[in-house]
Each structure stands twice: as structure tokens, then as C-alpha cells.
């Protein structure tokens, strides 16, 4: 009576067509055989939880990939497309890792299980770090912006110093030449002013001779003043084109400095993913408190990523595993049986073909023998007829001329 009830209950389990909308949805990400798992209601939540963990990891990967790629292309549509692709890729990797895990069916993790899981754990840790980094950068976005501003200021200072040192020698040479000419002009100007002063003092009687009026000394001083003024004017006229050319060269160098500085400032103020990651690394290296927070967040993502792998090793063997093993054995037996049937069919086909060929060969051999016999008999009859005819011809020769026949022989 009890056996019949068990059989009835098992048949009722086979009639279950759905384990619930949420369970059915999450099972897709755990890589299970849903038709078998529906027969094991006590294990619904176990594999639903595993699938949910893998799904959450894929969603985080999607957000992480979209945020990272946005700073490369600065295009929302490309970022969304890449984020979806990245999430699907991580989902398939996690699903494959969990579905191919070896488990001995015990709650504890054996060395054999852990050793077989080492490559998968390495992959999971790597995926966790890759997923965590862009999301951490988003969490510390404000601090990263401050660090980027400091980096830009440092870069601009270094670039300004480099640009100035690049044109320093040329500017110094031009400025020295301009200064030398201006000093000479100032020198001639002072001499001319001094000559003018002496001439005027002589005219007014305040000079050294104390003779007022336009006398010989005044005229001589006036000639000296004219000579100094002409020399100043001539020097200015000679050096004016040179000063203009030197001034143009100096302005040209200054324009080059400004243009190069502007172009480098544009490059320095570009904030792509590499610049943001560099700023993030500097925060991690220079600020111990933030570095601790960053590593806690990173470890959290790594734990979330490797959690399905450890859960798979820690899950005890249940009815679903028994059904899965039975299904595997059944399929293996059916495959072996089918293989044997195919082999038997192949051997039968070979035997039939062999027998068909044997019969055909025997028939052809028999036909050939009959043909050969007929040909041989026909040849014998032809030869006998030829001999008979030849005999008659020879006998006729003998009757006509016996001596001749004997002579020939």
C-alpha cells in the first residue's frame, strides 16, 4: 500500500509543469535542468538563490562596463550596447563556471573540490576586480574630480616650465640685443643732452666762462651739440629696422609659447577613462583611509563573484542530483544502445552487401564458365572442321601426284 502511494506521489511530481514564475526565471541563470528540478520542490530555493546571485553579478557587470566605456566614446547608446554585451558575457561565464563545478555532495569543501575549483576561483576573482573598479570610480567620482583638477594643475605647471625653457635661450638672445641697442641709444641721448645743456649755459652766462652771449665758445658748443644730435639720430635710424625685426621675433616666440600652451592645456584638461583611473590610483595610494574603504568595496565584489562557486562546492547532494545522475545514466545507456544498434545495422548491411556480392560473383563466374566452355567447344568444332577439310585437300593432292607429295616431305 505504501509503495503504491509513493508511486502515486512521484507520478504527481512528474505532472508539475512550473516551479513558479520567479523560480523558473532564476533557474535559467543557474544552468539547471528545469524539467528535473520541478520534481524536487524542496530544492527550489537553493538553485533560485544561486541563479539570483549570478544574475546580480551580471547586472553589476553591465553597469560597470557601461560606465567604463562611456569615458572612451562619450556616447550613451554605445555605452548601453557595450554594457548589455558585457553583462551577458559575465553571465555566461559565471553560469558555465557554476554548472561545470565538481562537487562530492557534502556540506564541507574537500581538497579535491577546492583543487578542481582553483582555476574557476582565479577567473572569478579576476572578474570581480574588473567589475568592481569602474563602480568604485563612480562611488568616488567627486574625490576623483578633485584629484584630476590637481593633476591638471601640476601638468600645466610642468608644461609651462618646459615651454619656457624651450624658448628661453632665443628670447634671452633677442632681449640682450634689444637691451644693447637701447643702452647705446640712451648713451648717445645723454651725450646730446649734456652738449645741449653746456651750449645753453654758455648762452645765458651760467657756464664756466661766465660770458653771456653767442660767442666763439657758444658756437663751438653748439656745433658739438649738433654733432651729438646727428649721431643719435643717425644711430636711431640705423637701428630702428633692427629693433622692429627683433621685436617681431620676440612677439613671434611669445605667440608660439601661447599657442603651444593652449594646445597642451586642452590635452591636460581631457578627462578620459585613463586619466580618471590614474586619479583613482593616486587616491588609493596616497590616502590610507580611502584606500581601506576601496579595498573593502573591492573585496565585497570579489566575494559576490566567487560566492556561487563556493555555494556549488558546499551544496549537499539532494534529490535533484540523484535525478540528474539517473537522467545522465539513462541517456548514457540509451546512447550506448543506439550505438550498438547502429553498429549492428552497419554489420548487417555489410553482411548483406557481402552476400549480395558473393551471389553476384558466383553467377558471373558460372556465366563465364559456360561462356568459356561454349567458346572452347566452338573452337574445337572449328579446328576439327578445319582439320577435316585440310585432310581432304591433302588426300586429293596424294591421289593426283603421290611422288610429288613424298618428295616435298
- How far apart are the C-alpha atoms of 167 and 172, rounded to whole Å? 9
Answer yes or no: are the C-beta atoms of 71 and 276 closer than 8 Å: yes
Q: Which residue has the cell 557587470?
A: 61
- How far apart are the C-alpha atoms of 125 and 333, rounded to whole Å? 39
Contacts of 120 (CB under 8 A, 6+ apart): 97, 101, 309
All 3 cell numbers of residue 349?
548491411
- Position 190 scores a pLDDT of 83
- Position 2 scores a pLDDT of 46
All 3 cell numbers of residue 191?
651725450
All 3 cell numbers of residue 359?
551471389
Q: What is the pLDDT of residues 99-108, one digit of tens each?
A: 777 666 676 6
- Position 85 scores a pLDDT of 92
Task: Give the H/E segment covering residue 165.
Answer: helix 141-204
User: In the predicted model, is pLDDT for residue 239 greater than 80?
Assistant: no
Answer yes or no: are the C-beta atoms of 191 and 224 closer than 8 Å: no
- Mean of pLDDT values over 32-41: 83
Q: What is the pLDDT of residues 278-290, one digit of tens each?
A: 777 887 777 787 8
Amino acid at each position: 500500500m505504501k509503495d503504491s502511494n509513493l508511486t502515486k506521489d512521484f507520478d504527481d511530481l512528474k505532472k508539475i509543469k512550473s516551479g513558479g514564475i520567479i523560480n523558473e526565471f532564476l533557474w535559467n541563470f543557474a544552468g539547471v535542468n528545469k524539467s528535473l528540478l520541478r520534481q524536487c520542490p524542496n530544492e527550489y530555493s537553493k538553485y533560485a538563490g544561486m541563479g539570483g546571485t549570478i544574475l546580480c553579478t551580471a547586472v553589476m557587470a553591465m553597469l560597470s562596463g557601461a560606465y567604463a566605456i562611456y569615458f572612451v566614446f562619450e556616447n550613451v547608446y554605445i555605452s548601453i550596447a557595450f554594457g548589455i554585451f558585457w553583462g551577458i558575457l559575465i553571465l555566461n561565464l559565471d553560469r558555465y563556471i557554476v554548472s561545470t563545478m565538481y562537487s562530492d555532495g557534502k556540506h564541507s569543501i574537500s581538497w579535491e573540490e577546492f583543487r578542481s575549483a582553483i582555476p574557476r576561483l582565479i577567473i572569478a576573482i579576476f572578474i570581480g576586480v574588473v567589475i568592481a573598479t569602474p563602480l568604485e570610480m563612480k562611488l568616488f567620482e567627486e574625490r576623483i574630480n578633485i584629484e584630476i583638477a590637481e593633476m591638471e594643475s601640476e601638468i600645466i605647471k610642468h608644461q609651462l616650465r618646459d615651454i619656457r625653457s624651450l624658448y628661453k635661450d632665443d628670447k634671452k638672445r633677442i632681449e640682450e640685443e634689444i637691451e644693447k641697442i637701447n643702452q647705446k641709444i640712451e648713451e648717445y641721448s645723454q651725450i646730446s643732452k649734456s652738449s645741449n645743456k653746456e651750449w645753453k649755459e654758455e648762452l645765458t652766462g651760467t657756464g664756466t666762462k661766465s660770458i653771456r652771449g653767442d660767442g666763439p665758445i657758444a658756437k663751438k658748443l653748439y656745433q658739438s651739440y649738433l654733432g651729438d644730435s646727428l649721431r643719435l639720430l643717425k644711430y636711431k635710424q640705423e637701428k630702428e629696422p633692427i629693433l622692429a625685426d627683433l621685436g617681431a621675433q620676440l612677439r613671434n616666440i611669445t605667440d608660439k609659447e601661447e599657442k603651444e600652451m593652449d594646445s597642451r592645456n586642452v590635452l591636460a584638461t581631457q578627462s578620459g577613462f585613463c586619466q580618471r583611473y590614474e586619479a583613482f590610483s593616486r587616491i588609493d595610494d596616497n590616502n590610507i583611509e580611502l584606500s581601506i574603504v576601496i579595498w573593502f568595496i573591492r573585496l565585497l565584489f570579489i566575494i559576490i563573484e566567487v560566492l556561487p562557486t563556493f555555494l556549488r562546492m558546499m551544496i549537499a547532494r539532494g534529490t535533484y542530483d540523484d535525478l540528474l545522475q539517473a537522467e545522465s545514466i539513462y541517456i548514457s545507456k540509451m546512447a550506448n544502445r543506439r550505438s550498438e544498434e547502429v553498429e549492428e545495422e552497419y554489420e548487417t548491411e555489410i553482411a548483406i552487401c557481402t552476400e549480395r556480392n558473393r551471389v553476384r560473383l558466383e553467377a558471373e563466374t558460372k556465366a563465364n564458365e559456360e561462356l568459356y566452355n561454349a567458346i572452347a567447344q566452338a573452337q574445337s568444332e572449328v579446328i576439327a572442321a578445319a582439320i577435316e577439310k585440310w585432310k581432304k585437300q591433302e588426300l586429293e593432292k596424294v591421289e593426283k601426284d603421290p611422288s610429288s607429295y613424298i618428295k616435298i616431305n
